Amino acid sequence: MMEKKQELDNRIIRLLICSTLPLILLTACPFSPSIVDKKASLGIQVRDADTNLEIDGIQVDLLVEGQAFQRDDETYSFATDRSGRVQFEGLPKKGFTIEVPETEIRMRFDTTYYEGAFTASSFNELVISLERKKTTFVGTVLDDEDNRPIEGAQLALVPGNYFAQSDDRGRFVLKATKINKNFQYSLTITKMPGYYSNSIDIPEPKLNNENNLRSIMLRRTEQWEPEIINEGEINIETKRGPRRIKIG
């Protein structure tokens, strides 16, 4: 009698194990082949946003719920080849994100493919224009006599080929993509009628960051004179000199 009961208990235990094991395996393997479209692929090309040239050696990740996707012991995290390309074979049927992590000189990039956003069982393609981090120079151009902002001042970073112009509040933002820390840079203001040129040394610019140069003062030339006020007009001084408003 005891032997029959023991045998019955063993059968029940085996039945429970067989019925729960698939559920355990499914839980332990969330990226099972059943949710992967093996025939769908995604080809990616990474280019420089400024030059449009291909970039090799850039890491590209395919993420699902914030984690690198894995399939058949393969992690979907690859580096671009010499032509700036990488290809993912077999795509998850659920939504996923393509991410290029931030580097020392380049900005982070990501884009999300929501469920059904890619062509199933077919080739998909994505071109990524990757932005370089920029070294920026900001400040305000002022008249040194009355501290009024000067609009339209032309600024140039020397050496280099980067330029900017002050706005109606005298403010400017000059962006440079390539800065050599071994060079001695200066910011020069020229082509401003009625003012002398000015140059400011920038001995150690902060690479890939904002450099606040604060106020740059321009001194008026001897030829700088207010305009003659005609009868029936009011003289209003502005950044570049007087401006007249007709009232009669």
Cα(9)–Cα(16) distance, integer angstroms: 11
- What is the CATH code of the structural domain delimited by 35-130? 2.60.40.10
Q: Do domains 35-130 and 135-224 have the same CATH topology?
A: yes
User: Mean of the pLDDT values across residues 126-147?
Assistant: 95
Of 3.30.1300.10, 2.60.40.4130, 2.60.40.10, 3.30.70.20, the CATH number of 135-224 is 2.60.40.4130
Beta strands 154-158 and 185-190, pairing class: antiparallel
pLDDT in tens, 3-12: 555 565 666 6
pLDDT > 70? residue 238: no
51: β partners: none
Q: Is the peptide bond before 159 cis (omega within 30 degrees of 0)?
A: yes
Instruction: Give this prediction's pTM.
Output: 0.59
pLDDT > 50? residue 81: yes
Cα(200)–Cα(215) distance, integer angstroms: 11
- Domains of the chain, by residue range, sit at 35-130, 135-224
Concatenating the DSSP letter of every residue in 137-177 gives EEEEEEETTT--B-TT-EEEEETTTEEEE--TTSEEEEEES
Q: Do 62 and 86 contact (CB within 8 A), yes or no? A: no
Query: What is residue 246's predicted lDDT score, i.e. its pLDDT?
Result: 40
